Amino acid sequence: MTVSKPLDQLRRCSVAVDVGSARTRVHIKEAGLVVDEPSVVAVNTYSGALIAVGTTAERMDGRTPGHIRVVRPVSNGTVIDIEMAQRMLRALVGTSVRRAWRRRGAMQRAAVTIPHNADPLARTAAVETLTGVGAKQVELVDTPTAAGVGCGLPVEHPEATMILVCGATTTQIAVLSLGAIVSATTVPMGGDTIHHAVVQHLRNHHELILPSQAVRPLHLALTGEGDPGEAPEVWGRDVATGTARTVRIDPDDVRAAIQAPLTGLSDAIRSVLHDCPPDLVADLADRGMMLAGGSALLPGLDERLRTGTGMPVHIAEQPSLSAVNGLAAMIEGQVTPLNVQVH
C-alpha cells in the first residue's frame, strides 16, 4: 500500500542506496558517495565463492572459463536475485565501511529507490536486500521523485515538472507536482536496448557479432555525424566462420535500426501528457522535460526527443547520479519540506 509520509522519515535514514540494473550507488550520510560500481558479481560455480564484484566482475563478462559465472542480480531496476544482491552490496561497501556503519548505528535506517511501478514482490525484494545487509528499517522512494530532486527540479511546487529516468533497460517517464507523481509510465527502452538493436542489426545485415564494447557506430548514428564517404569501420566476429573481420557501417542504416525504440519513447511521453490535467500540461510546454539516468548521455537523444515531442529538453548535470543524489539530499535534510511518497 502506498502512503504519503513526511520527509522527516527519510531524514532519519543514514544510507541512501540506488541499486540499478547497470550500476549500484551508495551514499552514506556525512560521508558522501562511497559506491558507484557496475551491478555485477562473478562467482565460482563449484564452490559458490565470490570472485569479484563491480568493475572487475564486469570486465570478466563474456571472457570467463566454465567455472566462473558472471551474474547481474538486478534487472529492469528491480532485484531479481536477493542473495547475490546482498553479497554484491556487502562486497562493494567493504568491511571497513560496514564496521563504521555498525559502530554509528548507521544501518538502522536505509532509503532505497524503486521503480515507480514496482509491484509488491519487487518492493519486498528491495527491503529484504537491505535488511540482509543490516538495515532495521527500509524506506522506499520512487526513482523519478528521487531523480527529480537530484536534478534540482522543484518537485514540491504545484507547477508540473517532467522527468525521464533513462536507465539501462527501461525509461521511467513521470510528471510530478506537489512532491508526488501525477502521471507516469515505464518504457522498455534504455541504453542497453539501443545497443542491442545495433548489435542485432549488424548480425542480421552484416553477419557480424559485435564485441560488447563497440558502441562507436551507435554514437555516430545518433548524432548524425560522419561523412558517407567515410563510413566507420568496426571489428567483429563473422557469424559463419567465427573469424575476426571488419565491416563498413552506414550510419543511416544504424539510425534506422534504432528508430523503433526511440519512436516508442516519444509516443510514451505523449501518453503521459494525455493523462495529465491540462493546467500541468500547460506548465510543461514552457518547462519541457529533464533527462536523468546514464542513457540521458546517449548522443543526440535530447535532440530526437525535442523533434519528436516539440518540447524543450534538458539534460541533468550528472544524469547517472541524479537518483542517488536526490535520495542523498533527502536523507541529509537538504530538501525543503515536501510530501515525498514513500512506500
Spatial distance between the Cα atoms of 3 and 243, rounded to a whole number of angstroms: 58
- Taking the complex as a whole, the smallest distance from the CB of residue 255 to ligand ATP amounts, in Å, to 16
Residue 260 labelled as part of a binding site: no
Spatial distance between the Cα atoms of 239 and 88, rounded to a whole number of angstroms: 35
Residue with cell 532519519: 12
Q: Which stretch binds ligand ATP (CB under 6 A): 47-55, 101-109, 121-129, 187-195?
A: 187-195
Spatial distance between the Cα atoms of 173 and 151, rounded to a whole number of angstroms: 14
103 SS3 class: helix
Spatial distance between the Cα atoms of 311 and 288, rounded to a whole number of angstroms: 5
33 in contact with ligand ATP (CB under 6 A) = no
Q: Which of residues 109-138 bind ligand ATP (CB under 6 A)?
A: none
Q: Which stretch binds ligand ATP (CB under 6 A): 80-88, 148-156, 253-261, 291-299?
A: 291-299
14 in contact with ligand ATP (CB under 6 A) = no
191 in contact with ligand ATP (CB under 6 A) = yes
Q: Which stretch binds ligand ATP (CB under 6 A): 233-241, 248-256, 292-300, 334-342?
A: 292-300
**Phi, psi for residue 326 in degrees, rounded to 5:** -65, -45
Spatial distance between the Cα atoms of 111 and 329, rounded to a whole number of angstroms: 11
Q: Which of 73, 144, 167, 236 touches ligand ATP (CB under 6 A)?
A: 167
Residue 329 labelled as part of a binding site: no
- Cα 169 to the center of its chain, rounded Å: 8
State which H helix or E strand residue 127 sits in: helix 120-132
C-alpha cell at 205: 545485415
21 in contact with ligand ATP (CB under 6 A) = yes
Instruction: Tell me whether residue 54 or residue 294 sits nearer to ligand ATP (CB atom).
Output: 294
Name every residue whose Cβ is closer than 8 Å to that of residue 314 and which is 6 or more positions away in sequence: 288, 289, 290, 291, 302
- Taking the complex as a whole, the smallest distance from the CB of residue 158 to ligand ATP amounts, in Å, to 28
20 in contact with ligand ATP (CB under 6 A) = yes
Using CB under 6 A as the criterion, which residues of the chain lie in contact with ligand ATP when the complex forms? Answer: 20-23, 77, 167-170, 190-192, 293-295, 297-298, 320
Binding residues for ATP: 294-297
